[in-house]
Amino acid sequence: MWGRVEPETLLSETALAERFGVSRMPVREALATLVSDGLVITLPRRGHLVRTVSLAEALDAFRVREVLEVEAVTQAVDRISTQTIAHLRELVNIRTSPDLPAVNREFHLTIAQASGNRILVEFLQELLTCMQRVLIMAPQTMTWAEDVAAEESAIVDALAARDAQAAQEAMRRHIRNTLSSIVGQANDRPPRSAV
């Protein structure tokens, strides 16, 4: 589960190996993966630092995400199966999960995968990793779950109706509302990442 290590925490290979009762090799490999995913930064001779996501980075990611997700939903309209639509409806109804950002990620990746566009899916996976870190640290995530469910239901309804324009509009509205929520939170404190 995400969100257990606060941003700006210094991670030590030795301490992590001791904590999990493993040798340093798997810890080193895990940290290398986190570095390549952009979740931590290597500090020579000091360890690894859990990265903070700046507000500017979050805004940039949302702008690109809107373009990709509107395209994904457009391509998915004619390709999505009834089983996938049923799965999306199940995900919309999971609003009490303690890991709501992961459910949100699965919802959006499922639509991208339904588009049949492998390149789009790969780019979106990277953006959603960044967004998941921001959403985990956003205290209002659970409070706007009902609004998110209504927005996601509108996306699924448009996909089920094979209505590309309605799907595009619903996805665009959902992404923009999520961004507005994050920006509103930034007035209190900047979004932060977590591992």
Rg of the Cα atoms in the chain: 18
Q: Is 42 left (phi over 0), alpha (psi -120 to 50) or beta?
A: beta
Neighbours of 109 (CB within 10 A): 15
Neighbouring residues of 77: CB distance < 8 A, sequence distance ≥ 6: 158, 159, 162, 163, 164, 167
At residue 42, does pLDDT exceed 70? Answer: yes
Contact indicator for 28, 125 with CB cutoff of 8 Å: no
Q: Is residue 174 a contact partner of residue 70, using CB atoms and an 8 Å limit?
A: no
What number of other Cβ atoms are within 10 A of residue 124's Cβ?
25
Query: What is the pLDDT averaged over residues 122-137?
Result: 75
Q: ∠ at Cα 2 (133, 25), nearest 5°?
A: 110
Residue 39 has pLDDT above 50, yes or no: yes
Question: What is the spatial distance between Cα 10 and Cα 30, in angstroms, rounded to a whole number?
Answer: 15
For domain 55-186, give its CATH number from 3.30.300.30, 1.20.120.530, 3.40.50.1980, 3.30.420.40.
1.20.120.530
Give the relative orientation of helices 118-136 and 100-114 as an angle to the nearest 10 degrees.
Answer: 170
Res 129 pLDDT > 80: no
Q: In the chain, which residue ranges form alpha helices assigned H by DSSP? A: 13-20, 24-36, 55-76, 82-92, 100-114, 118-136, 145-160, 164-186
| Placement of tokens 């949100």 in the chain | 104
Q: pLDDT of 53-79, one tens digit each?
A: 677 777 888 889 999 999 999 999 999
* Cβ–Cβ under 8 Å, residues 157 and 76: no
C-beta of residue 109 within 8 angstroms of C-beta of residue 128: yes
pTM above 0.85, yes or no: no
Domain 10-50 class in CATH? mainly alpha
Give the pLDDT band of residue 96 (cuts 50, 70, 90).
Answer: low
Per-residue pLDDT for 89 more than 90?
Answer: yes
Q: Domain limits of the chain?
A: 10-50, 55-186
